[in-house]
Chain A
Amino acid sequence: MKPHHGAHTSNTYIGAHIERVEDYRFLRGEGKYLDDISREGQWHAAFVRSQIAHGVIRSIDVSKALAMPGVRAVITAADIEGDIPTIPFRRPNPTIGPYAQPIIARDKVRYFGEPIAMILADSPELAEDALQGVTADIEQLPVIIDCKSAMADKSLLFDVTGSNLASIFNADKGDVDAAFAAADFIIRDQLSTQRQTALPMETRGLLAEWDAKNGKLTVSGAAKLPFFNRSTMAAMMNLPETAVDYIELDVGGGFGARGEFYPEDFLVAFGARKFDRPVKWIEDRREHLMAIGHSREASCDVELAFSKDGVMLGMRGDLFLNIGAYVRPNGMTPVRNAAQFMSGPYRMPAIHIAAYACVTNKTPAGTYRGPGRYEGNFFIERLIDQAAAGLGVDRLEIRRRNLLTHEEMPYSLATVLPSDGRADTQCDSGDYRVCFDACVQEANWAEKSKLQGKLIDGRYHGVAIGCFIEGGASGPQENARMVLEKNGDISLFAGSSGIGQGIETILAQIAADYLEIPMERITVFHGSTNLLKQGWGSYGSRATVMGGSAVIDACKKLLALFRISAAKRLGVEPDAITIAEGVARLADGRSVPLAEVASDHLEVDGSFKNQTPTYTYGSAFAHVAVDPGTGHVDVVDYVVVDDVGRIINSMTLHGQVMGAAVQGFGSVFTEELIYNDEGQLLVGSLADYLIPTASDYPVVRCVSMEQFPSPTNPLGAKGAGEGGIIPVGGVVTNAVANALSSFGVQPKTLPLTPSRVWEMIEDARVRA
């Protein structure tokens, strides 16, 4: 085992259980979220959305709406000069160009909920009232709602392309045909995960202000990617980047969906500029469900090849991802991720996976925590448990034999083409058996496994264990500016953004340790484009590693300047000085504290460049009890053990893991965005989209390790915001299958609603 990362020895804050700085304002009700701000004379926006999933727009009549009280304007595609702008991709590839989303529908609507007009009125109520005053004459076209009909090309969403396939990603490695030819055992299955969304508790919203005198646009309500969105907005508005600012406020949850560039972002800003008025927009929950990025609708037909003793030889097959009507900025991420990361933590010498991105008449997809990885993990873990049974190999043993070891690092995953800039990737560090064994211990598998398939008090018990990797530290760079204030305190301006994860605390901890000063003397400002020239944000579990490493660079630079300033004051060479705990000292006992050089206006820019992702890895255990009478599943125990390279804040880390695990239970059991055959979304409120509540899943235990630091960054840390959700689908479903093994039930489709579980049991009874 490697020693703990020794880059810095005097840690007080890093690794500790530190209470969060941001909590104080949140707990007092003093957080500032988008709807908490208002501007004098602002107008409110509301969107008219297509109620038809696929059709040709014949005409749109806004006259009634315009005549309604308080209505100032109605914007339709006709008000946009020239071509309707489309939203650019964050990770482009050669085939997706024609599928980009226009910011408003002009000739055609392609999903239920697509914006066709924007009302601007004096109050949100009046704007919403006026929605009924807009009538659209839309000629319906045949609706495509699943990948199968999409691939049959019976109706085309985009006539120009002649296809409903936006992209096909191929993940390849080794000689897969040879692997299957040599196999002793092959397992094949068709499995699927359902359409979901991230569902942050705060709905989306924006406030756009146009400063006509200076030609400047300010957009409040940024999250995730303020700098990318600024350049996108500037380009679409034909403004220089410096004429646009994105301001971050407090954000009520992100989870991959909030903060991407959506059509409404442009339209709200367009209205503000056109009418020289602040325009504010907050979506309601129904709108949120039909408009924010969906995710996770995926199916597979995949097979795994094994030797007779359970060694994995190869994996091949097809994945189908229903990406909805357009390719959104990160719409391909789940597709390419599912292909590349399906092999997960396992040694897989040969791979050929084709992942089809199918366009359909549903809300366009984007990312949701663990994009593509959750889906891929569900597929492979289901196959592994079935293979274990077929081969007669123990379920633990089959995993342990195939988990990657320290000696194999770095380990290359499959190459994914067409390249979106990350065709190749390597697991960075770790011994994946270590977390696995720790999880087996922590879960008390020896005892718990005795319950497998047992009927106790009318419920069948089942257990399972599954393994995962989580990609983090998305590149390419992050920046941090540090200023020594007059009173000797430090202001830290970070390009990373806050999405509820505690970035103010994490970055202050890192800075305090590297500067060796109390954390209270550091104030973190983040996520707004007016704080520093360039930054990236918080996505792909990157803020701690990328933002934190940029902070370290800034600390080093600030200490170097401090040394020079102190040397001048003491009249010595900088080399003569030792700096410790915020004080520059000489051997003769003379010293200068940091605060004393504040008049020198010390200010530094730190940055960290890195294109190599980190891979947190771990194992999860589930114990479930299934009521065969109702189909209800109780999660009796759930344990997750991961190795994050280096823990910065054990409290927030566990918060991430636990919160993600519980989200995962929602994915497995209750959450589903259901459409009818006409492509209408049937889920319109939180009473139909059922996320976990406090009484549903009372037990999640997590253990985090830091045995194998990541070699990719000075902290040795790995991104850890998403891992908690990745294994949940696979391990919980395997536990359910294990519980129902006496019936021979093999779940293929999520979610495992009580009725679906009950039906599986009944079907098995009929078969028997």
Chain B
Amino acid sequence: MSVRFEVNGKSVSVDVSPRTTLADCLRHELHLTGTHVGCEHGVCGACTVIVNGDAVRSCLMLAVQANGAKVTTVEGLSPEEGLSPLQTAFKTHHALQCGFCTPGMLTTIHALLSEEPNADEDRIRDVISGNLCRCTGYITIVEAAMDARASYQQSRGDKE
């Protein structure tokens, strides 16, 4: 089946079988391997991408369901060169070790802070509690997200 959607600002069209998940489509057809797959059953959050502004588990969504959608992956959150403020905060706070959960954490937090740039610590913890990380113990991830809020508050302010 042919699916057409927008990924990281570019329009793409792919031929996939009906059972192909969005995660597999992104990874194997579009070679966007930043999106990781840790469980394939919607629990770990490593595969989280942003679909029309919402954080979505791409292992639970079929590629065909993305038809016409706007999809953002970790690659789309990265500037041409260097790191975004959220990525920089992750680095400064040592919010990653093996890096496997990191793309899902970044997309989840980006989606949250884009909507709620003033989210407090409890809210951040609550939202990322759907993303598993085995390395860090999460404390530094929460710190990074708290720290990155300023840049979202800023950019929202600019827009308004």
Contact = CB atoms under 8 A, between A and B. Distances in A.
Interface string A660-695: 111100000000000000000000011100011111
Nearest to B89: A27
Contacts of A663: 134, 137
Contact of A253 (B34, B40, B135): B135
A26 interface: yes
B73 interface: yes
B7 interface: no
A763 interface: no
A255 B133 CA distance: 13
A693 B132 CA distance: 6
A28 interface: yes
Contact of B44 (A29, A201, A501): A201
B61 to A, nearest CB: 17
A36 B99 CA distance: 14
A200 B131 contact: no
A20 B44 contact: no
Interface string A457-482: 00000000000000000000000000
A253 B28 CA distance: 22
Nearest to B84: A27
A22 B102 CA distance: 13
B74 interface: yes
Contacts of B39: 285, 685-686
B148 interface: no
A296 to B, nearest CB: 16
Contacts of A652: 94
Of B32, B87, B97, B142, chain A has the most CB atoms within 10 Å of the CB of B97
Nearest to B127: A694
Contacts of B129: 693-696
A38 B19 CA distance: 21
Contacts of A502: 97
Nearest to A282: B37
Given A28-B74, A250-B99, A691-B132, A20 B94 contact: yes
Interface in A647-663: 651-652, 654-655, 658-663
Contacts of A699: 139
A350 to B, nearest CB: 38
Interface string A269-289: 000000000000000110000
The interface residues of chain B, by DSSP majority, are classed as loop
A33 interface: yes
Contact of B138 (A19, A32, A35, A694): A694
Given A30-B34, A695-B125, A501 B102 contact: no
A23 B90 contact: yes
Contact of A28 (B35, B78, B142): B78
A254 B134 CA distance: 10
Given A19-B91, A655-B94, A694-B125, A687 B100 contact: no
Interface string A684-716: 011100011111111110000000000000000
The DSSP consensus for interface residues of chain A is loop
B125 A201 contact: no
Interface string B68-100: 000001110110000100010011101011111
B33 interface: yes
B100 A202 contact: yes
Given A200-B98, A686-B43, A694-B141, A659 B90 contact: no
A500 B41 contact: no
Contacts of B97: 253, 500-502, 655, 659
Contacts of A19: 91-92, 94
A211 interface: no
Given A26-B99, A203-B38, A694-B125, A659 B135 contact: yes
Contacts of B125: 694-695, 698
Given A19-B91, A23-B90, A685-B41, A252 B138 contact: no
Nearest to A688: B43
A624 interface: no
Nearest to A18: B94
Contacts of B73: 29
Given A23-B90, A26-B102, A201-B132, 5 more contacts: A29-B74, A253-B100, A253-B135, A662-B138, A699-B139
> What are the 3 A-B residue pairs with the smallest beta carbon separation, nearest first?
A29-B34, A500-B98, A26-B99
24 contacts: A19-B91, A26-B96, A26-B99, A27-B87, A29-B32, A29-B34, A32-B33, A125-B19, A200-B100, A201-B100, A201-B101, A252-B99, A253-B98, A253-B135, A255-B134, A655-B135, A655-B140, A658-B140, A662-B137, A686-B43, A693-B130, A694-B126, A694-B128, A695-B126
Interface of A: 19-20, 22-33, 35-36, 38, 125, 199-203, 250-255, 284-285, 499-502, 651-652, 654-655, 658-663, 685-687, 691-700
